[in-house]
Structure 1
Amino acid sequence: MVAGLGCALPLLLGLFSGHPGFLWATVGAFQAAKANPLHRFGMLRMLLLIFLGASSAGLGFWAAPHPLISLGLFAFYGLLLAWLQRYGSEAGKLGIGLAICLCLGQGQYGIADFNNPQAIAVLFALGGLWVTLLAFGLRGLHGLRMWPYMPRLLSIVRTLHRRARRTPIRQWRLHALTYLIACSAAGLLVNLAELPRGYWLTLAVFTTLQMDMHNSLLRAIQASLGILAAATALIYMGHSLADPPLMVMIMLPMIMLSRAFQANHYGLFVLQTTLCFLLLAETLANDWHLPEIRLINAALGVGLSLLVIVAMHLLAKGLARLGKRRSAEAPA
């Protein structure tokens, strides 16, 4: 209910006023609603999601007209996501949310006359704070403290360090290199080609890449085909409806259902969250008569990520063969 009410207000205001700024308030509301306010550290996580998400969206919009800045920013977020994934699925979920906000910020550049990164970040934060207000009311109804006791930072660091040691450092380095190449190439391609609604490409890259995709090419191909099929179905639905009021009526129950049945598995969570963000970003769009733009961008993103995964898979095999050869040639 908090997620539904939080996204309903900015969506309806954007529908009646036609101002593109309410899009960012809606995205900020959904970003904040991903945290559970009834958990012990739910409010702390909610404010963290709002602040970091607003910064990511503003940075993406600011870097959109600059090729080198876009390349560096997407490379940084790719490494950040790979680093967070070492510390477990919850940290990875935080990272993918920030990456999605960055992609939306860059992809929305030039679509409307709203070209102020600072205003975008502020509207994003206002939408998130509206959800925070509803979350405080929910905590009050349950008789919980408005602000829980703060955790011990040292204990959190120790727990995260133990979790990170489970992943072999060589495997993580290869994974980080995959993210670095694919994400930076995606950000640069959207900028240089001046692709409209380029977040369909960059989000396809972030969604396709997973921690262990380079270990199995078959699994990578299956994931790529699944993501492309989901994007095609989403594009077909939007093209068939092509009516913002009807899209809003369909989107609000979907947000509530998505939040009520939020996936625990990391891969399913990424796909579920990405589709919801895409629907929110496209709900008030007036160019659904051009579905081929979105489909081409999604296909390019899936193809780029699959190409990088295959290259990293061959590199890993080559390094493994070289290591075996050296160990065989070494004197006993």
Structure 2
Amino acid sequence: MKKSLWKYVGWQPGRPAWGAAAVAGLGCALPLLLGLFSGHPGFLWATVGAFQAAKANPLHRLGMLRMLLLIGLGAGSAGLGFWSATHPLISLGLFAFYGLLLAWLQRYGSEAGKLGIGLAICLCLGQGQHGVGDFNNPQAIAALFALGGLWVTLLAFGLRGMHGLRMWPYMPRLLSLLKVLRRRARRTPIRQWRLHAISYVLAAAIGGLIVTLADLPRGYWLTLAVFTTLQMDLQRSFVRALQASIGIFCAAAVLIYMGHSLADPPMMVMIMLPLVMLSRAFQSHHYGLFVLQTTLSFVLLAETLAQDWGLPQLRLINAAIGVGVALVVTLLMYLLRRLVTRIALRKSRHPAATDQGRDDSITP
């Protein structure tokens, strides 16, 4: 029964990474407490950067390289999202590019896809936080994001030293890494991937454009709902995609209700830190569950120090619009896929029918 439950859920349980969980907890605790006592909104970005860096396991061979990669790309994504929040065309193109980037990275395996969804989340948070506070400097946001990540990197170096590991391990050959990625990309049919990429580009671009044109507060509830719904990879069955959309909307409603009921930053910080440590200790290896787990953690961290929980309907409306956009794009791609399949079947039957007619017309 236990094995069948794990197989049904899709979770791949493993040994808990308590070292990485301690690094994530200490890394997020310092900026959260500083933001709680000072009230400065800049510490939010340091917290997000710390959690972004803590997703990598520092005890792995390439853990430190991946941590620095997450910090640099995440800081750039957050700054670009905040900068594009007042430019509709730039926001449209930027979200379309990140949707294409995410679909392209998914061709190279789940680890590359995890990198892509992390960057997309940072972009959504950067755009959605615009106008919430008086902190309106994209360069400062990227710098604070990087500082939070470097604080976690310092803790990670200490963890490696406690285990007697090299501070910076030997790097693999770049050509060998490219060969492995190319071999992994060939497993995905190119036609199926093109439809998959079109759905990502359309949904992400529409979501980013709606947030910019409507000037929605906390717009990351909309854009994150779009990316999370599309991550389920249920393009073949519209019924299952509808079930996933309903589940994601219900999860967002539960989070909004819990935040509205608490509405107390010190209490939310006390609850959030153990959740961050448990989430990092039992981080899922399954791609879809990793996306849900990471998205929920980022949203909770971004909402921990929020002072506007008296208006929960704004968050609920944003989540509903995001799920609706993803569902409409999924339906369009599903109908397009069926149309392409019917046309291919007709073309395959037409030559057979003509050849049979020619054979019947021949007389001895």
Same topology, TM > 0.5: yes
* One of 267, 280, 304 as aligned partner of 1:283: 304
Q: Matched residues in 1 for 2:202 and 2:95: separation? A: 9
Q: Matched residues in 2 for 1:226 and 1:155: separation? A: 41
Question: How far is the alpha carbon of 1:180 from its aligned partner?
Answer: 0.6
Equivalent pair of 1:26/1:127 in contact (CA under 8 Å): yes
Q: Which residue in the other structure is 1:253 paired with?
A: 274
Deviation per residue, 1:24-63 (Å, 9 max, x gap): 0000000000000000000000000000000000000000
Structure 1 segments of 4+ aligned residues over 2 angstroms from their partners:
none
Change (3 A) 1:197 1:211: closer
Q: Matched residues in 2 for 1:100 and 1:176: separation? A: 18
Map 1:148-159; keep pairs closer than 5 Å: 148-159=169-180
Equivalent pair of 1:183/1:206 in contact (CA under 8 Å): yes
1:216 counterpart = 2:234: no
Q: Matched residues in 1 for 2:191 and 2:82: separation? A: 34
Question: How far is the alpha carbon of 1:326 from its aligned partner?
Answer: 1.2
Q: Which residue in the other structure is 1:174 paired with?
A: 195
Q: Which residue identity is paired with 2:248?
A: I
Q: Which residue in the other structure is 2:358 paired with?
A: none
Q: Matched residues in 2 for 1:280 and 1:232: separation? A: 17
Q: Which residue in the other structure is 1:42 paired with?
A: 63
Q: Which residue in the other structure is 1:240 paired with?
A: 261
Equivalent pair of 2:82/2:138 in contact (CA under 8 Å): yes
- Count of residues paired in the alignment: 332
Q: Matched residues in 2 for 1:260 and 1:213: separation? A: 28
Q: Which residue in the other structure is 2:3 paired with?
A: none
Equivalent pair of 1:175/1:211 in contact (CA under 8 Å): no
Q: Matched residues in 2 for 1:17 and 1:178: separation? A: 43
- What 5-or-longer segments of structure 1 have no aligned partner? none
Deviation per residue, 1:109-154 (Å, 9 max, x gap): 0111100000000000000000000000000000000000011111
Q: Matched residues in 1 for 2:261 and 2:232: separation? A: 35
Map 1:102-251; keep pairs closer than 5 Å: 102-210=123-231, 212-251=233-272
Question: How far is the alpha carbon of 1:328 from its aligned partner?
Answer: 1.2
1:21 counterpart = 2:45: no
Question: How far is the alpha carbon of 1:210 from its aligned partner?
Answer: 2.8
Q: Matched residues in 1 for 2:135 and 2:54: separation? A: 25
- What 5-or-longer segments of structure 2 have no aligned partner? 1-21, 356-364
Q: Which residue in the other structure is 1:326 paired with?
A: 347
Q: Matched residues in 2 for 1:233 and 1:156: separation? A: 42
Q: TM-score, normalised by structure 2?
A: 0.90
* One of 78, 93, 98 as aligned partner of 2:119: 98
Q: Secondary structure at the match of 1:148?
A: coil
Map 1:81-92; keep pairs closer than 5 Å: 81-92=102-113
* One of 285, 292, 295 as aligned partner of 1:274: 295
Q: Which residue identity is paired with 2:257?
A: Y
Deviation per residue, 1:141-178 (Å, 9 max, x gap): 00000000011111111101111111100000000000
Q: Matched residues in 2 for 1:112 and 1:152: separation? A: 45
Q: Secondary structure at the match of 1:306?
A: helix
Deviation per residue, 1:72-128 (Å, 9 max, x gap): 000000000000001111100000000000000000001111000000000000000
1:64 counterpart = 2:85: yes
Question: How far is the alpha carbon of 1:211 from its aligned partner?
Answer: 6.6
**Identity across aligned pairs (percent)?**
79
Q: TM-score, normalised by structure 1?
A: 0.99
Q: Matched residues in 1 for 2:285 and 2:198: separation? A: 26
Deviation per residue, 1:259-283 (Å, 9 max, x gap): 0000111110000000000000000
Question: How far is the alpha carbon of 1:225 from its aligned partner?
Answer: 1.0
Q: Secondary structure at the match of 1:171?
A: helix
Equivalent pair of 1:85/1:211 in contact (CA under 8 Å): no
Q: Which residue identity is paired with 1:267?
A: G
Deviation per residue, 1:282-332 (Å, 9 max, x gap): 000000010000000001000110010011000000011001111111254
Q: Matched residues in 2 for 1:269 and 1:232: separation? A: 20
Q: CA RMSD in A?
A: 0.7
Q: Which residue identity is paired with 1:59?
A: L
Q: Matched residues in 2 for 1:132 and 1:48: separation? A: 11
